[in-house]
Amino acid sequence: MKEAVGSREVEIKLAVASVGEGRRLLRAHGFRRVHRRMFQDDTVLDDARRSLKRTGCLLRLRRSGARAWLTYKGPAEPGRHKEREEIEILLTARGLTAAAQILARLGFHPVFRYQKFRTEYRRDGEAGLVALDETPIGVFLELEGSPAWIDRTAQRLGFSPSDYITATYADLYLEHCKRIGGKPDEMVFEGRS
């Protein structure tokens, strides 16, 4: 198990029409795949009063292959990029179960579950990361790096600040359900448990 890593997370999402379009855009602009496509299963936790959600914080358990993470995200600062504190610790599979039990004893229970397939890309010599996220509600490019890098990269890919999405996947899912008249539940792929 690794030590916890805390940092500032700065990111935006950009909606793309398809996985193929996202891959073409990234290849055409010099991005190369650095992490293969992986399935991620995320569970957001909160207390009975939804204290974390009300204060703009997030507590999440993530599974991806044989790896798992416990993540805390603080409230986002106002601005065109989503910027907030992020503290994350890598867990073993056994550690994930123990973490869930500890959090339950402290009053934190699952309130939302969402899934995605994620492939990560970088450009040589640049610190920023682009994730191609395939979700049950659409395909998104998630750009994470400095605000200047995000703006340059988004523009290079053909997007403007008016295209920036700073909402969480939970919020995007609720908007999606409203649009289609569906009842919100979990944002999971059909046939995946």
CA distances in angstroms from 150 to 31, 76, 82, 114, 166, listed in the order given: 14, 16, 11, 25, 12
- 126-132: long-range contacts at Cβ-Cβ below 8 A with a sequence spacing of 24 or more? 128/153, 129/34, 130/26, 130/31, 132/19, 132/22, 132/23, 132/26
Going by C-beta distance under 8 Å and a sequence separation of 6 or more, which residues neighbour residue 28? none
Name the nearest CA neighbour of 109 among 118, 119, 117, 100: 100
* For range 98-113, the mean pLDDT: 97
> What is the C-alpha to C-alpha distance for residues 41 and 36, in angstroms, rounded to an integer?
16
Mean pLDDT over all residues of the chain?
94
Mean pLDDT over residues 58-62, rounded? 98
What is the spatial distance between Cα 141 and Cα 19, in angstroms, rounded to a whole number? 10
Element (H, E) at 132: strand 129-135
Bridge partners of residue 131, in order along the sequence: 120, 142
The CATH code for residues 5-180 is 2.40.320.10
Tokens 């899912």 sit on residue: 173
Mean pLDDT score, 100-116: 98
Examine the pLDDT at 91 and tell me if it is beyond 70: yes
The token duo for 118 is 């994620």
- Check residue 2 and give its pLDDT: 40
pLDDT level of residue 5 (50, 70, 90 thresholds): low
Name the phi and psi angles at 128, rounded to 5.
-75, 160
Judge whether residue 103 has pLDDT over 50.
Answer: yes
Residue spans per domain, the chain: 5-180
